[in-house]
């Protein structure tokens, strides 16, 4: 199985624990990452849901790199958190649920890619979106809000 002790004694884990300023700095970056991710995603998802129809879905789709960038910041900072205290997170119910929900967002993304993405890239200002697009967008928002909630709850379920 996964060797938590090895992860804990890794140089990355040691680094995060070594200086008091590292963890709060990582937390701030983690919050920033989630804001970028959610902000870009919110603009796209709300448009797919039919809000602000003056926006072209094909145009707001161009915010995608910011979703990825936000996610990347959080993946890196998240790995660093984990390395610093793997036993804490590995056995934490909120953390586990958070990881599960992130996997679900990934599945939702795959579904999006194989169906609605093409539609979105062609859709101009004022266009209506399919029911499928609306479902995927709603799921995206709901699941990511769940991710934030689980993340926030990590210290409180220990």
Partner 1 sequence: MEFLSTLEQSALAIWVAESLWGYPLVLTLHAIGMAFVVGILLIFYLRILGFAPEVSVIALQKMMTIAVWAFVVNLLSGSALFIADASRFFFQIAFQIKFFLIVLGLVLTAVFKKTMLANAADWPGGVAPVNARIFAVVSLLIWISAITAGRLIAYL
Binding site for partner 1 (CB under 8 A): 24, 27-28, 31-32, 34-40, 42-43, 46, 51-52, 54-56, 58-60, 62-63, 66, 125, 145, 148-149, 151-153, 156
- Please report how close the Cβ of residue 157 comes to partner 1 at its closest, in angstroms: 9
Q: Between residues 13 and 70, which has the closer beta carbon with respect to partner 1? A: 70
> Long-range contacts of range 95-104, CB-CB < 8 Å, 24 or more positions apart?
95/150, 95/154, 97/146, 97/150, 98/147, 98/150, 98/151, 98/154, 101/143, 101/144, 101/146, 101/147, 101/150, 102/147, 104/143
Shortest spacing between CB 104 and partner 1, in angstroms: 17
The residue among 7 and 94 lying less far from partner 1, judged by its C-beta, is 94
Q: State the minimum distance, in angstroms, from the CB of residue 20 to partner 1.
A: 9
CA distances from 142 to 64, 75, 135, 149 (A): 18, 20, 10, 11
Residue 53 Cβ vs partner 1, minimum distance, rounded to whole Å: 8
Cα(42)–Cα(46) distance, integer angstroms: 6
How many whole angstroms separate alpha carbon 131 and alpha carbon 107? 18
**Signed CA dihedral, 116, 119, 124, 126: sign only:** negative
Work out how close the CB of 138 gets to partner 1 at its nearest, in angstroms, rounded to a whole number: 14
């Amino acid at each position: 199985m996964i060797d938590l002790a090895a992860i804990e004694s890794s140089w990355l884990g040691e680094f995060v624990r070594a200086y008091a300023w590292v963890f709060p700095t990582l937390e701030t970056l983690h919050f920033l990452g989630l804001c970028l991710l959610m902000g870009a995603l919110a603009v796209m998802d709300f448009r797919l849901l039919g809000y602000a129809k003056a926006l072209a879905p094909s145009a707001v789709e161009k915010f995608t790199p910011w979703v990825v960038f936000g996610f990347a910041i959080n993946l890196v900072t998240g790995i660093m958190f984990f390395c610093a205290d793997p036993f804490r997170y590995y056995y934490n119910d909120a953390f586990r649920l958070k990881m599960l929900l992130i996997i679900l967002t990934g599945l939702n993304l795959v579904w999006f890619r194989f169906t609605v993405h093409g539609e979105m890239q062609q859709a101009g200002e004022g266009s209506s979106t399919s029911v499928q697009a609306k479902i995927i967008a709603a799921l995206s928002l709901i699941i990511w809000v769940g991710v934030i909630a689980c993340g926030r709850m990590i210290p409180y379920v220990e």
